Chains A and B, each alone.
Chain A
Amino acid sequence: MSNIAGTKSSLTWAVHLSLAALVLLWLFPTVGLLVSSFRTSDQIASTGWWKAMVPSEQNLTLRTGGADDQIQKDGNFVIEGNLFGEPGDAVISVWGTSSRAISDYKAGETAELKKGTSVTVQGNGDYVMQSPEEISGKRGQRIFATAKTPPEFTLKNYKYVLFDPSNREGMAKAFFNTLTVTIPATIIPILVAAFAAYALAWMDFPGRALLIAAVVGLLVVPLQLALIPLLKLHNEIGIGKGYLGAWLAHTGFGLPLAIYLLRNYMVGLPRDIIENAKVDGATDFQIFTKIILPLSFPALASFAIFQFLWTWNDLLVALVFLIDSTGDTTVMTKQIVELLGTRGGNWEILATSAFVSIAVPLGVFFAMQKYLVRGLLAGSVK
């Protein structure tokens, strides 16, 4: 038997391999998003992100200088310059001057155009256009080049999301608004749920089992059902749309899971300790604060992470209960959706915003991750 405790399974390598494969599979979309956040919208539209890492052959449409750039040289009118602006790492292999024939000439060859005009394009993008007559036309000649271009990444998207004057203020405001929603919306349900969980776990009163069943039942009620009635209630009792309403909504929607998780954890604590404390004359409140709370720390922390992530990423509850038509109380998720534009085409901004908004939850997760697993297992495995 290979699975006896203390002996190593001969299949360890298989476990490790499949684990690595699963991790890669999970990370795959995130990596794509990360790569996309460093690309321009044109790049995203033309090639997949997996092609962004290696030099690629691309068909480019470039343009020579216009009539304003011409100089007279040896009786000819000449426009000189580089198609890429300045010589870069891109290497042109073939090129053409018509959209119907984009690969008629090799780098270094000369193409004859109308009226005795000729144009020569070098591999690095340098070009010379010559004409015996004055060149007219404000816009230059189109050059269709097939070039091998090195990978190109840009920080433009991050600059736009974080530092652009039109966003900066909105983003900063949304960040602090989100914290204003998230922190109380995490603490309040934990406070309430801890008391409730203790009562449901260790205090004897009639109907306790039914009450637990009801809480579990509430877990399956979709919160969307309550949106309009709850908002109506808030308007009637004078809360309206605002932070208080959002905290209450998040608390209400978070409580069933919180109570369920914490109760299951607390029930698993050793009965002896609690009975000993009772014999020594401790009140329920003392038992709760002195014994249960410190022992339940992993469960509390794991729920805190859950609730924090959920409220941080929430858009629906914020839209319904918080963001009124003055727009002063916007949150990160809403701000990000707005960056997408009226018709939602700005994918590069979406990818970038996702990484900006991921930063805080990632920090919270890594700071508290050891409790997450402990807290989750503690409730289920006895």
Chain B
Amino acid sequence: MKPTIKSAVATGLALAMLAAGSASAADLKFAPGEGDFNWDSYEALKEMKLDGEQITVFGPWLGPDQVLVESVLAYFAEATGADVKYTGSDSFEQQIMIDAEAGSAPNVAVFPQPGLASDMAKRGFLTALGDDTAAWLTDNYAAGQSWVDLATFQDDKGEEGLFGFFFKVDVKSLVWYSPENFEDAGYEVPESMEELKALTDQIVADGETPWCIGLGSGGATGWPATDWVEDMMLRTQPADVYDQWVSNEIPFNDERVIGAVEEFGYFARNDDYVAGGAGAVSSTDFRDSPKGLFSSPPQCYLHRQASFIPAFFPEDTVVGEDADFFYFPAYAEKDLGKPVLGAGTMFGVTKESKGAMALIEFLKSPIAHEVWMAQEGFLTPFNGVNTELYASDALRGMGDILLNATTFRFDGSDLMPGGVGAGSFWTGMVDYAGGKDATEVTTDIQNSWDALK
């Protein structure tokens, strides 16, 4: 009698597993073999046999973003048989430290900024990804070496290595506007910073307000202004000065930096230029400020913000029709090319396992990028993907800005030490927007940087 029960149980289990297997296959967003995806790279993943191995991924994405990243990881799970679990947290920065310190880290962590990963690498919490991965990035990512440099840190023994794999990039040098409002008023999209300034003055002359600027972001209030200053830095100074500024080789209160801060002030500290007046800049939440573009009558006509901002447009706003963007232009008279500011998230291995390393290998396959591209909110510097797959013209347009950039620089505040880039720089910019002198503000920031050394 016993063997039959056992075999019945075994059959039952096998059936249940089959059912589970087919259920997860149905969960794949795009059926393998269909569309212009690189399915060869998907088939190649099946070589990695990871049946039943659990891989935990911890990152900052929540809500709709979490659904997106899970849809990408599902392909890895389906092809290799691994059990991939993603969890997100809004306090990622704090929690990953607690978990790593106490020894209960996830296998893979997704860092929203390199500064934190650098700190963790220095304390020995990250596993190096190896020279192969570094070489792969150099060969396959646009401006590959710069991505490798951004993710190369020292570990606890002082040895340098690649500790992060950039996946998912945001373009920050964008100005959003409503094409129909531009049409009503007869405005043209500006091609240079001079034209942008002229347009700003023209809108004021027409009795309207040109800009919506909001710096509010709870505990992170001020960060949108740091993006402004970085963009202005790239538009007034050569890229190597930007690099020296970010690494503090030139002091924060250098006149060139002050110049960039004042360029931001040109727009943000003029009562006529900003919706609600200059006083409203630091108190307006960055999530609410783009809504002025779509109100009736429009509170403003221009809004400079990164590629993620459409998530905070009013419901039913169609990017490309109700709202559109143009490249935050550079000065025509200064021969600095077309600089682009961006940011990105980085995968790092916090607890080494066969599965964790395999997951990093998965990120090198075009399919990992293409599945997210074909949905929303994803840009990649990987040149092995089919750019036809971008879900919308808007995304492709942002991708083009990324590819046409003569200079690409990473968000400087993310590269500065946490106490500056996520501290005194933010608060300093709030002070500046509130009317404090630029020299005074930058000197304060430099002092806080000195204190950290």
Q: Is A326's CB under 8 angstroms from B87's CB?
A: yes
User: What does the 1/0 interface line of B75-112 toward A look like (CB < 8 Å)?
Assistant: 00000000001111111000100110111111100000
Is B184 a contact of A240 with CB atoms below 8 Å?
A: no
Say if the beta carbon of B297 comes within 8 Å of chain A: yes
Which residue on chain A has the smallest CB distance to residue B185? A100
A341-B64 in contact (CB<8A): yes
Interface residues of A in 338-364 (CB under 8 A from B): 338-346
Check A340–B104 contact: CB distance below 8 A. Answer: no
Q: When the two chains form the complex, which single residue of B62, B95, B298 contacts A319, counting CB atoms closer than 8 Å?
A: B95
Q: Does B61 make an interface contact (CB < 8 A)?
A: yes
Known: A228-B101, A327-B85, A342-B61. A98 touches B106 (CB 8 A): no
Q: A59-B296, A232-B101 are in contact. List 8 more A-B contacts (CB 8 A).
A: A41-B315, A46-B295, A59-B295, A228-B102, A324-B56, A325-B58, A326-B54, A341-B62
* A42–B315 touching, CB < 8 Å: yes
A293 within 8 A of B: no
**Interface status of A376 (Cβ within 8 A of chain B):** no
- Are B85 and A99 closer than 8 Å at their CB atoms? no
Give the Cβ gap from A118 to chain B, nearest Cβ, in Å: 18
Q: Are B89 and A99 in contact (CB under 8 A)?
A: no
| Contact status A42-B63, CB under 8 Å | no
The 8 A CB mask of A85-109 against B (1 = contact, 0 = none) is 0000000000000111010000000
B288 to chain A: which residues have CB within 8 Å?
45
- CA of A231 to CA of B101, assembled, Å: 9
Partner of B296, one of A60, A231, A240: A60
- Asked if B287 contacts A345 (CB within 8 A), the reply is yes
Query: Given A45-B288, A144-B296, A323-B87: A99 and B62 within 8 A (CB)?
Result: no
* Nearest chain B residue, comparing its CB with the CB of A42: B314
Q: Is A320 an interface residue (CB 8 A)?
A: yes
Q: How many residues of A are counted as interface, with CB atoms below 8 angstroms from the partner's CB atoms?
A: 43
Query: Which B308-324 residues have C-beta < 8 A from chain A?
Result: 308, 311-312, 314-315, 321
Given known pairs A102-B296, A235-B103, A344-B90, the reply for A142 and B63 (CB within 8 Å) is no
> A249 CB to closest chain B CB, in angstroms?
12
Q: In the complex, A343→B312 CA distance in Å? A: 9
The reply to whether the CB of B8 lies closer than 8 angstroms to some CB of chain A is no
Say yes or no for A166: interface residue by CB 8 A criterion. yes
Q: What's the Cα separation between A228 and B97 when bound, in Å?
A: 10
A166, B66: Cα distance in complex, Å: 11
What distance in Å separates the Cβ of A144 from its nearest Cβ neighbour in chain B?
5
User: Chain A residues near B104 (CB, 8 Å)?
Assistant: 231, 235, 240-241, 324-325
B44 contacts across to A, CB distance below 8 A: none
Q: At the interface, yes or no: A313 with Cβ under 8 Å from chain B?
A: no
Assuming A100-B185, A232-B103, A338-B66, is B311 touching A343 (CB within 8 A)? yes
User: Residue A337 at the B interface, CB < 8 A?
Assistant: yes
Interface residue? B57 (CB, 8 A)? yes
For B294, the closest partner residue in chain A by CB is: A61
22 chain-A/chain-B pairs, Cβ below 8 angstroms: A46-B295, A59-B295, A61-B296, A98-B184, A99-B180, A100-B297, A231-B104, A232-B102, A235-B103, A319-B91, A319-B95, A325-B56, A325-B106, A326-B56, A327-B87, A338-B88, A339-B63, A340-B63, A340-B90, A342-B88, A345-B312, A346-B63
> B68 → chain A, closest Cβ, in Å?
10
B297: which of A42, A46, A59, A343 is its contact (CB, 8 Å)? A59
Which residues on the A side are within 8 Å of B87 (C-beta)?
A: 323, 325-327, 330
**Chain B contacts for A117, CB-based, 8 A:** none
Q: Which residues of A contact B107 (CB under 8 A)?
A: 325
- Closest beta carbon of chain A to B4's beta carbon, Å: 34
When the two chains form the complex, which single residue of A166, A235, A324 contacts B67, counting CB atoms closer than 8 Å?
A: A166
Say yes or no for A19: interface residue by CB 8 A criterion: no
Which residues of chain A have C-beta atoms less than 8 A from B291's C-beta? Answer: 45-46
The distance in angstroms between the C-alpha atoms of A166 and B181, with both chains bound, is: 37
| Docked-complex contact B63 and A342, CB < 8 angstroms | yes
- Shortest C-beta distance, A120 to chain B (Å), equals 20
**A227 and B94 alpha carbons, distance in the complex (Å):** 12
| Residue B60 CB within 8 A of the other chain | yes
Does chain B have a CB within 8 A of A139? Answer: yes
B139 within 8 A of A: no
CB of B218 within 8 A of CB of A344, answer yes
Contacts of A341 in B (CB 8 A): 62-65, 311
A40 CB-CB contact with B under 8 Å: yes
Which A-chain residue is minimally distant from B351 (CB atoms)?
A: A325
B311 to chain A, nearest CB (A): 7
